[in-house]
Structures are given as structure tokens and as C-alpha cells.
Amino acid sequence: MLHLLGGEPLLHPDVEKFFPIARAAFPRSRIMLISNGVLLDKQGDKFWDAMHESRIELSLTVYPGMEQRFKEALAEGERRNVTVSSYNDANVIKTLDHYPLDLEGRQDPVSNFGKCDQAGRCINLRNGRMYPCVSAAYVSFFNAYFNQSLPITEKDYIDIYKAESAGEISEFLSRPIPFCRFCAIDRVTTGHPWRTSRRDIREWSD
């Protein structure tokens, strides 16, 4: 199974261009586009036709207040002959998880990597660089907004244009990176009420 996700993939102005590329690379795999559906009503025939032609499924995360939008997406998918499903249980209220950062970087990278549910599962590609988790890939935004300086070095990612083989990339993604020391894995909590961010650093840190 291959997941196409973001962030929010529907923010990409040419998201449908990824569908035939993914299908060509994985001709027999189940491929799903994971979205919150907020921008779904802005997608036209080009999007839906590409989904159908490349046999891409649409999987929506159903947030509180989005139940009607999900029902509309189901109807549109049926009309367009595109499979639409719920990424989470549509009948269960969506909650938030808190993955705090240790701003001092005092954590053990090897132990953290072994406990992390993102390692090897939430691989992120940004500007040609592949990271084993979303935190390392996008900590630059956290640093800029909260005036922090959590470092990312060349050992925290692999450049896909410089890698000599798929095996080299796979081997890199299977081991801890230096940035792992900034994740307070043992203090992850779940089940928080879903709400819009207050842009408070405590939402992201220990």
C-alpha cells in the first residue's frame, strides 16, 4: 500500500500529476490519497478523472464538523467511480496526539527511534531530501516561528539525487538520526480534544 499525503496534498496546485507517476511505479499496489477534504470542492474534472484513471483511492480524515463534507465526498466518489473512504472511523470523534520536542536535545536517539511510531512509517520528502519523520523535515518552521534553533545536519536526511541506490536510501531510513535526540517519545500523550492550534510553543514542546 502506498499513501500520498502531506501536510495536506490538496494544497498542491498540480496534485493530480503525482497519480500516474505513483501508479507507474507501483502498478499492482493499493494507492490512497490522504486528505482532510477541506479543499475537495475546489477540485475539478482534471483531479477526479486522474484519480479514476490511475486507480487512486481517496481517504478522508473526518474531523469534528466535517461529517457532512464526508457524506458529500462519498456521493461524488460514487458519481466519479472513485473509491472514497474514511481514514479514521467516521463515527468516532477525532482527537489530537501530543508529540513534544525536548528543546534541549537530552533524549537518547537509539532508544527514541526504537519507540517511535513514525520511524519508517511517516517518511517525508522535502526539496529532494528524505527524512525518516515529519518533525525533522519541518522543524525549520518551528524554529522560525518560535525563535528556536533546533539543528538539522546532513546526517538527518538523505539527498535522493545523490544516493547511489534504493538500498542506500532504505538503509538510511532504518536507523536513528541525530535529530532523534530532540523528541520526547516517553512523554507522548493521546486523546486530546481536537481544536485549532493556539500557536503556543507548549503545543509542540515538552
Domain extent listing, the chain: 2-86, 95-203
- Rounded Cα gap, residues 93 and 4, in angstroms: 24
**Confidence at residue 64, expressed as pLDDT on a 0 to 100 scale:** 84
pTM for the whole structure: 0.79
Helix %, strand %, coil % of the chain (to 5): 40, 15, 45
- Model confidence over 111-169: pLDDT tens digits? 999 999 888 778 888 999 999 999 999 999 999 999 999 999 999 999 999 999 999 99
pLDDT score of 92 more than 90: no
- Rounded Cα gap, residues 151 and 137, in angstroms: 11
- Rounded Cα gap, residues 56 and 69, in angstroms: 20
Which of 101-115, 120-134, 176-190 has the weakest average pLDDT?
A: 120-134
Give the SS3 label for residue 139.
helix
State the average pLDDT over residues 93-108. Answer: 93
C-alpha cell of residue 68: 457532512
More confidently predicted of 51 and 96: 51
**Confidence at residue 166, expressed as pLDDT on a 0 to 100 scale:** 93
